[in-house]
Amino acid sequence: MKKLIALMIVLFPVFVISVIAANSETIVVGHTGGNVKQKNVDTALMKAGLTKEGTTHFTVTFAFGATSIDCDAFYGCNALTDVVIDEGINQIDAYAFFDCPSLKSITIPASVDFIDPYAFYGCPSLAVVSVASGNPHFMSENNVIFNKNKTELIRYPQGKSGLYNIPDGVRTMATSAFTDCHLLTEVVFPDSMQRISRRAFQNCTALTKVDIPEGVPSITQYAFAGCSSLSYVSIPPSINRIDNYAFWQCTSLTNVIIPNSVSMIGNLAFADCSALSGLVVPRSVINISETALDSCSLLVIYGYTDSDIYTYASANRIPFTVIDSTNPDDLPLLISSNTNTGFLNPADKTIFLPDSFTIAAYSVNGGLKWKKWPNNADKAHKLIDKLLEKDIIFYLSDQLNENGIPKTKDIEQSKIITFPYIEAQSKNEKIITWYEYIWEWFCLLFTSTHK
Sign of CA dihedral 196, 198, 204, 208: positive
pLDDT band at 309 (very low <50, low <70, confident <90, very high): very high
Mean pLDDT of the 343-370 span? 52
Mean pLDDT of the 85-104 span? 90
pLDDT > 70 in the chain, percent: 64
- Domain 14-160, CATH 3.80.10.10 — does that match? yes
Residue pair 23/44 in contact by the 8 Å Cβ criterion: no
**C-alpha closest to that of 373 among 420, 416, 313:** 420
CA pair distance 110, 402, nearest whole angstrom: 57
CA pair distance 418, 364, nearest whole angstrom: 10
User: Per residue in 9-57, pLDDT tens?
Assistant: 333 334 444 444 444 333 343 344 578 788 877 777 777 777 777 777 7
Q: Residue 431 pLDDT more than 80? A: no
Tell me, what's the pLDDT at 244? 97
User: Crossing angle of helices 377-390/434-449, nearest 10°?
Assistant: 150
- Domain 163-328, CATH 3.80.10.10 — does that match? yes
Q: Report yes or no on whether pTM surpasses 0.75.
A: no
pLDDT band at 395 (very low <50, low <70, confident <90, very high): low
More confident residue, 352 or 261: 261
**Count of C-beta atoms within a 10 Å radius of residue 135:** 16
Which backbone phi and psi does 52 adopt, to 5 degrees? -60, -35
* Range with lowest mean pLDDT among 43-52, 87-96, 141-150, 358-367: 358-367
Residue pair 353/342 in contact by the 8 Å Cβ criterion: yes
What stretch(es) of the chain map to CATH 3.80.10.10? 14-160, 163-328
CA pair distance 302, 325, nearest whole angstrom: 12
How distant, in Å, are the alpha carbons of 52, 55, 224, 353, 412 from that of 231?
Answer: 39, 39, 12, 14, 12
pLDDT band at 6 (very low <50, low <70, confident <90, very high): very low
Q: Residue 228 pLDDT more than 70? A: yes
Tell me, what's the pLDDT at 246? 98
User: Per residue in 143-180, pLDDT tens?
Assistant: 999 999 999 999 999 999 999 999 999 999 999 999 99
Query: pLDDT averaged over the chain?
Result: 75
Strands 361-364 and 371-372: antiparallel
Q: Residue 277 pLDDT more than 80? A: yes
More confident residue, 348 or 389: 389
Tell me, what's the pLDDT at 402? 59
* Range with lowest mean pLDDT among 296-300, 350-354, 389-393: 350-354
More confident residue, 419 or 19: 19
More confident residue, 56 or 83: 83
Q: Residue 396 pLDDT more than 90? A: no
